[in-house]
């Protein structure tokens, strides 16, 4: 029967729909019916077959009042029971949901029983508290995201506004005007890159981008990405060390992985000092491919390493280095989508090393 089927949620220890409650309920009904019959059909009526009509009426009225008394008593008992076991938890849940709908994501509900005696209401309350906690985290992330986006947008916009104003000066010589134009172009490109990264990250986080699997040579892709930064490493006289197996092929999304290598290599060259070293290693073990990109740059603290994949997080709070704090967030999201893993090792003054682990074949 439906009422006695096995409970699916193992957290429920004391169900409000237990068989014993139904047995108690029907026992009470049987008791009322039995008492009513005993009141009406008194033992005298069995001995006296022709009971006077006035006695029958008197006993019928007396039985009616007794039934009404028992019904009122049981109704009061049932009302008290509902107040304690139903109305109280419902009121708590309604109050908390009202606070949530009004934007108060700190609303929490205290469980009615200890965990060993949880019923369905306790499970609802526990799940509600988890939901409220998630909503609170999402709201905090949204607030931080908006604040960070506003901050990051202000910088290039301020540069564009300032240089566009200065370019209007008539007394500027051609060399200064050209320098201002270059700075204006650089700021507009930074703004464009920021907006592109925000949109791309938003699509990745909202599952609007799905991997397109294809087989390709991973070492060729990494080499192509490195060549994008040739001017940068030559300018800083950075030594490049590569250990790439040219035969390693991988079945994954080539376009998405390009985001990973481009961001990791960009950071390696960006944070390496002049004359530093950037190494790229790749090897295959069993069904996985490991890519390690290391630099001899400034490195980062252990605290920074714990937050490095968060949106807009930058270990350099002064924003002295170029970047918008979205690159590694994009990398982490792509790695998650492609069923890979990424770890970082770093030490202040000695550099950083990022290791990416990817499945060689699609599962």
- How high is the pLDDT of residue 50? 60
- How high is the pLDDT of residue 161? 84
Is 265's pLDDT higher than 80?
Answer: yes
- How high is the pLDDT of residue 192? 79
Selected residue with higher pLDDT from 15 and 349 = 349
Cα dihedral 267→352→331→255 (10° resolution): 70
Candidates 3.10.20.440, 3.90.740.10, 3.30.565.10, 3.40.50.261; CATH matching 214-359: 3.30.565.10
Cα distance between residue 263 and residue 261, in whole Å: 6
B/e letters for 27-41, b = 16+ CB within 10 Å, e = fewer, are: eeeeebeeeeeebbe
Ranges of each domain in the chain:
2-133, 143-205, 214-359
Which range is least confidently modeled, 194-198, 255-259, 292-296?
194-198
pLDDT tens per residue, range 76-101? 777 777 777 777 788 888 888 888 88
- How high is the pLDDT of residue 1? 41
Give the CA count within 13 Å in the CB-facing half-sphere of 293: 21
Spatial neighbors of 297 by CB under 8 A, at least 6 apart, are 268, 270, 271, 272, 273, 276, 351, 352
Q: In terms of C-beta density within 10 A (0-12 exposed, 13-18 middle, 19 or more buried), how is residue 329 classed?
A: buried
Residue indicated by tokens 């920021």: 194
Is 308's pLDDT higher than 50?
Answer: yes
Candidates 1.10.287.130, 3.40.50.300, 1.10.10.60, 1.10.150.120; CATH matching 143-205: 1.10.287.130
Is 10's pLDDT higher than 70?
Answer: no
Cα distance between residue 352 and residue 217, in whole Å: 26
Cα distance between residue 176 and residue 173, in whole Å: 6
Token pair, residue 174, equals 């051609």
User: Which whole number is the average pLDDT over 37-54?
Assistant: 56
Is 60's pLDDT higher than 70?
Answer: no
188 — pLDDT class (breaks 50, 70, 90): confident
Is 12's pLDDT higher than 80?
Answer: no
pTM for this one? 0.53
User: Which whole number is the average pLDDT over 335-348?
Assistant: 89
255 — pLDDT class (breaks 50, 70, 90): confident
Is 324's pLDDT higher than 60?
Answer: no
Token pair, residue 182, equals 């270059």
Is 46's pLDDT higher than 70?
Answer: no
């Amino acid at each position: 029967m439906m009422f006695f089927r096995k409970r699916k949620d193992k957290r429920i220890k004391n169900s409000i729909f237990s068989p014993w409650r139904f047995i108690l309920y029907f026992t009470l009904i049987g008791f009322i019916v039995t008492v009513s019959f005993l009141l009406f059909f008194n033992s005298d009526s069995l001995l006296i077959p022709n009971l006077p009509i006035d006695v029958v009426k008197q006993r019928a009225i007396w039985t009616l009042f007794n039934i009404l008394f028992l019904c009122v008593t049981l109704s009061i008992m049932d009302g008290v029971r509902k107040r304690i076991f139903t109305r109280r938890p419902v009121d708590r849940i309604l109050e908390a949901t009202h606070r949530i709908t009004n934007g108060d994501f700190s609303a929490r509900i205290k469980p009615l029983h200890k965990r060993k005696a949880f019923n369905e209401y306790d499970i609802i309350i526990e799940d509600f508290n988890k939901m409220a906690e998630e909503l609170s985290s999402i709201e905090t992330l949204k607030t931080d995201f908006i604040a960070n986006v506003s901050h990051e947008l202000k910088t290039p916009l301020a540069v564009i506004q300032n240089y566009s104003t200065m370019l209007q000066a008539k007394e500027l010589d051609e060399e200064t005007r050209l320098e201002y134009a270059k700075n204006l172009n650089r700021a507009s490109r930074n703004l464009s890159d920021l907006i592109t990264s925000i949109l791309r990250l938003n699509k990745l986080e909202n599952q609007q981008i799905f991997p397109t699997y294809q087989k390709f040579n991973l070492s060729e892709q990494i080499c192509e990405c490195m060549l994008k930064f040739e001017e940068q490493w030559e300018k800083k006289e950075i030594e490049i060390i590569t250990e790439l197996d040219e035969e390693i092929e991988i079945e994954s999304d080539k376009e998405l992985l390009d985001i990973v290598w481009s961001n990791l290599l960009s950071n390696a060259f960006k944070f390496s000092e002049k004359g530093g070293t950037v190494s790229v290693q790749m090897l295959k073990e069993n069904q996985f491919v490991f890519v390690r990109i290391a630099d001899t740059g400034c490195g980062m603290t252990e605290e920074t390493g714990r937050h490095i994949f968060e949106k807009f997080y930058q270990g350099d709070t002064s924003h002295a280095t170029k970047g918008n704090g979205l690159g590694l967030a994009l990398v982490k999201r792509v790695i998650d989508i492609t069923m890979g893993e990424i770890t970082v090792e770093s030490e202040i003054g000695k550099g950083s090393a990022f290791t990416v682990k990817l499945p060689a074949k699609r599962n």
